[in-house]
């Protein structure tokens, strides 16, 4: 199976051809940026005013052609939603831990579906 575009490590800088970004790939970048904003708020000692919601479109966004989006993807999406619900109901004492659980659920799906961005996603952990 050919894995093109978003899931190839370093595809943005080193790929000789340009790929048209899929709807799902664009959504993922939004999800990344939203979760980065949550991380920054937490590091500034704030409780985020709102939590990311774009993940809810994950299962309806069109992925890159030939990408295997099936039952496993849906199962990981359900787990990701659960981790987001958990984060949104955090109090300040468990905010860091619950944010890190969200990142873990991003990584879990990526280990199965799209390993390229994992290094970038892991930078979202609060260590
Ligand atoms: C249910 C599985 C799943 C979950 C959960 C998930 N991803 Fe993804 N992600 C994917 C798939 C599949 C792609 C490739 C999309 C495509 O190419 O169409 C992707 C692509 C990406 C990309 C590359 C986008 C690009 O082309 O530049 C980034 C960055 C990313 N995800 C970050 C995240 C972050 C951050 C989270 C958690 C907040 C997350 N993902 C949660 C499956 C998932």
- Structural domain including 100 reads 20-48+67-127
End-to-end CA, the chain:
35
For 34, the token pair is 């939203």
State the distance from the centre of ligand 1 to the C-alpha of 94, rounded, in angstroms. Answer: 25
Q: Is ligand 1 within 6 A of the CB of residue 84?
A: no
Radius of gyration of the chain (CA): 15
Number of domains the chain contains: 1
Cβ burial, residue 84 (10 Å; 0-12/13-18/19+): buried
Residue nearest atom 5 of ligand 1, based on CA coordinates: 106
Q: Is ligand 1 within 6 A of the CB of residue 64?
A: yes
User: Confidence class of residue 1 from pLDDT cuts 50, 70 and 90?
Assistant: very low
Mean pLDDT of the chain: 89
Q: Is ligand 1 within 6 A of the CB of residue 83?
A: no
Integer Cα distance of 40 and 11 in angstroms:
26
pLDDT for residue 57: 95
- Closest ligand 1 atom to residue 124 Cα is 35
In sequence order, which residues have a C-beta less than 8 Å from that of residue 76 and are 6 or more positions away? 105, 108, 109, 112, 113
Residue 92 falls inside a structural domain:
yes
Q: What is the pLDDT of residues 33-80, one digit of tens each?
A: 999 999 999 999 998 888 999 999 999 999 998 887 899 999 999 999
Residue 6 falls inside a structural domain:
no
Nearest to 121, CA basis, from 110, 112, 90, 99: 110
């Amino acid at each position: 199976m050919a894995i093109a575009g978003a899931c190839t490590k370093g595809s943005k800088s080193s790929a000789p051809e340009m790929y048209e970004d899929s709807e799902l790939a664009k959504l993922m970048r939004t999800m990344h940026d939203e979760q980065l904003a949550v991380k920054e708020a937490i590091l500034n000692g704030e409780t985020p005013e709102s939590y990311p919601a774009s993940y809810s479109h994950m299962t309806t966004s069109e992925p890159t052609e030939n990408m295997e989006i099936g039952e496993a993807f849906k199962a990981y999406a359900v787990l990701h939603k659960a981790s987001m619900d958990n984060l949104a109901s955090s109090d300040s004492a468990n905010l860091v831990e619950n944010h890190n659980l969200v990142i873990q659920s991003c990584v879990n799906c990526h280990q199965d579906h799209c390993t390229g961005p994992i290094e970038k996603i892991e930078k979202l952990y609060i260590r």
